[in-house]
Structure 1
């Protein structure tokens, strides 16, 4: 128990340092007012470093992840069912948060005046959709403003390399090294994060006032109310559907330990061994749990779908844009699900998802640390939902694959 507590505390040392630096920066901004703008260059350095990394990070990690998959041809029915459930539950989570932020806008009390997103256009025409997913020239892929086309290209190249098998091994190995190198570079840059984020928030609060912090508090209250509501209500419903109402008690009896583990460690992968044991005790067939849970720990993040909508809505409010309309909602849901079900499958996927939001909507670079901070603040609760959702999804897969009598066999 002491070892687990020590490990949990170790996982939160750096986040605590970031929180302290943000608090110090915000206090300086509130005290100094407009004079805090002297710290702006320090914050800009951090923002520029992160955007400098994004293109090679996305290309190397996604291409390597797809090219390295060894089971593209043999996953069959279980994989198809699993992916479908992951997407459907991700959409459900995104829609629930969408309803919440429409009713209670998270950035209601502050608007950054005089700053408007660049080239902001909702994806409501065929031409805009084509431009969102593709570019006219290969060189355009090298811009952070074209993250989504870069993702599409990286996935297709990864599939092509995978299809070549051993002939592509040298390229895949190189991509693996480059992917690790880019992730290590992110770690190096993050050593500067306490200074960069502290300076950025000093500038932000000094320029726009302490009410910005109130908007963060409002966003956190909204997120955690919806997330814990989803945790108890949605997962109870999924357990009911998957066992025809007979396994709700069994589900909650076994899921509490993995949920607490995820909340403490902030890692779905660290929770995986406990989750596998819980699924075994619930009675999920071995082949299903051994496929769904490891896959879910990698590419299934309902908590990230919830936070994706929150981040988009927060930026809309912050920059004085109207978060309304079917096209705006549909685009937001698609981006949230992409971030929570696809991009989460690559290292640094949360970071890429946040950059995707900024780039696709044309928000200025300064918007990135705003939503990156939200992502950091919601991470523990999001991870709890992510890990629990994997077990619930495994039960739903068992119901579809094995039939309604699967739970009676346990």
Structure 2
């Protein structure tokens, strides 16, 4: 018993904090504004730490990969894993929707939500804004995370190409990575209090919206998403390292899952994801690349919600979603939304705009799918964030032999 308490004390405390926060949100809503600042402080500290963590983790990993061709092979395997598993998520969602249709009301009163203004700029200009910024200082904002990741990636490649003269800078990157990991270990000790307070706010805010028009689509998402979380992720872990892979994944995936559920932020979950990946035995060369890039480019939860939102929009308009070209196009949109829009401010809105432009969906159907996107956010974030570590397990399994040996020694 003492051994269990020692090994799982942090998880137990986190569960206690979140449970207390849930009860406060449900039973004592007047207290929520008093304790919410504690959650905000914790979340702000995490966000402040994530930017330097991303830089040091990505740049040091890229710069420290010994062979030039090994980086290319890791990235190739990563892209293959990301695309294939996103397609699997989309196809499974379509199949389950076909078996268990979700009806939607066409009552216009349920669609009352103002659309945000969309600037009239070309897609070429959008791509420039997504991938670059005008000044270095803008890179340090979470609003330009995709540009920051690209910059960190290029720094790592530049260090690799600079040879011996860059060794001091490489040591700086490696040391910075270790320092940030230790700092995040310190911050996570406050997680039970911070996440408990923030979870109380989430329960109080989202609770009243989970009924009425949105009940069936949300019921589908939360039931299917939960099954997907346990069954499909377990299958991926088994494909990576058999039964012991499943055991190790779920042993260390609890803290990232609870963090994602509480904060509704993949970025805030990144620190605990990296710690979990290390505990799972995933090599740093793989984890620091796959988990950090996956935080922006790989989102199972968004893939499922993208299919569901398209389906609901079609149901509202009385259109047939299950035509072959409609479903193939939906999978294509899902890949774009899951792997591109994740690093873009208001990326979900980009997904809605893609739906409108590709399918010619009238604007009146868009508010409903936007609200669904907001209400599924807690579970979507869990699927988005924790999918990164199981994807890293798969990448490590199918990466060069020396990487595979490193990870298998843990099991």
Structure-2 separation of matches of 1:408 and 1:72:
22
Q: Give 2:74's aligned residue.
A: 78
Give the Å deviation of 1:331.
Answer: 0.5
Give the 3-state SS of the residue equivalent to 1:271 in structure 2: helix
- Equivalent of 2:237, from 239, 242, 253? 239
Give the 3-state SS of the residue equivalent to 2:399 in structure 1: helix
Q: Give 2:393's aligned residue.
A: 395
Matches within 5 A, 1:192-207: none
Give the 3-state SS of the residue equivalent to 2:361 in structure 1: coil
Structure-2 separation of matches of 1:152 and 1:7:
48
Cα pair 2:300 2:384 within 8 Å, conserved:
yes
Q: Give 1:105's aligned residue.
A: 101
Q: Give 2:322's aligned residue.
A: 324
2:94 matches 1:94: no
Structure-2 separation of matches of 1:374 and 1:222:
11
Structure-2 separation of matches of 1:275 and 1:347:
22
Give the Å deviation of 1:344.
Answer: 0.6
Structure-2 separation of matches of 1:406 and 1:327:
44
Q: Give 2:409's aligned residue.
A: 409
Give the Å deviation of 1:244.
Answer: 3.5
**TM-score, scaled to structure 2:** 0.60
Over aligned residue pairs, what C-alpha RMSD do you find? Answer: 3.7
Q: Relative to 1, partners in 2 of residues 1:298 and 1:105: Cα closer, same or farther, differing over 3 Å? A: same
- Equivalent of 1:313, from 311, 314, 322? 311
Structure-1 separation of matches of 2:94 and 2:355:
15
Q: Relative to 1, partners in 2 of residues 1:152 and 1:337: Cα closer, same or farther, differing over 3 Å? A: farther
Give the 3-state SS of the residue equivalent to 1:339 in structure 2: helix
Structure-2 separation of matches of 1:252 and 1:299:
23
Structure-2 separation of matches of 1:306 and 1:230:
10
Give the 3-state SS of the residue equivalent to 1:292 in structure 2: helix
Q: Relative to 1, partners in 2 of residues 1:295 and 1:217: Cα closer, same or farther, differing over 3 Å? A: same
Matches within 5 A, 1:59-70: none
- Equivalent of 1:220, from 218, 221, 226? 218
Give the Å deviation of 1:214.
Answer: 4.3
Structure-2 separation of matches of 1:89 and 1:406:
24
Give the Å deviation of 1:221.
Answer: 1.0
Cα pair 2:281 2:407 within 8 Å, conserved:
yes
Give the Å deviation of 1:327.
Answer: 0.5
Q: Relative to 1, partners in 2 of residues 1:266 and 1:102: Cα closer, same or farther, differing over 3 Å? A: same
Structure-2 separation of matches of 1:356 and 1:315:
13
Give the Å deviation of 1:376.
Answer: 0.7
**TM-score, scaled to structure 1:** 0.60
